[in-house]
Structure 1
């Protein structure tokens, strides 16, 4: 069963995505900061939420 059909698994996937974005931003801030808009802006927004 995919994680998107189970609420608890979906929540875990979202939290892992946020934590991964924060970790990537701590290693290479310019990688996420240059993509603040558009589709790749989701990663920047998740990193900001995680901070």
Structure 2
């Protein structure tokens, strides 16, 4: 069964995406910061979500 159809697997995939984007942004912030709009902007938004959750 695909991760899209299983709710727990979908949440796991989303969490891994957010953590991966935050890790990439910590190593090389210029890669994600130059793509704030468009299709690649999703990765910038995921990194931003993680950085805001980290402060709480």
The structure in which a higher percent of residues are helix is 1
What TM-score results when the alignment is normalised by the length of structure 1? Answer: 0.98
- Spell out, residue by residue over 1:21-49, the C-alpha distance to the aligned partner (whole angstroms, 9 max, x if none): 00000000000000000000000000000
Runs of 5+ unmatched residues, structure 1:
none
> How do residues 9-48 of structure 1 correspond to structure 2 at under 5 angstroms?
9-48=9-48
Runs of 5+ unmatched residues, structure 2:
52-56
What TM-score results when the alignment is normalised by the length of structure 2? Answer: 0.89
RMSD: 0.3
Moved over 6 A (4+): none
Distance 2:36 2:16 in 1: 20
Distance 2:46 2:35 in 1: 12
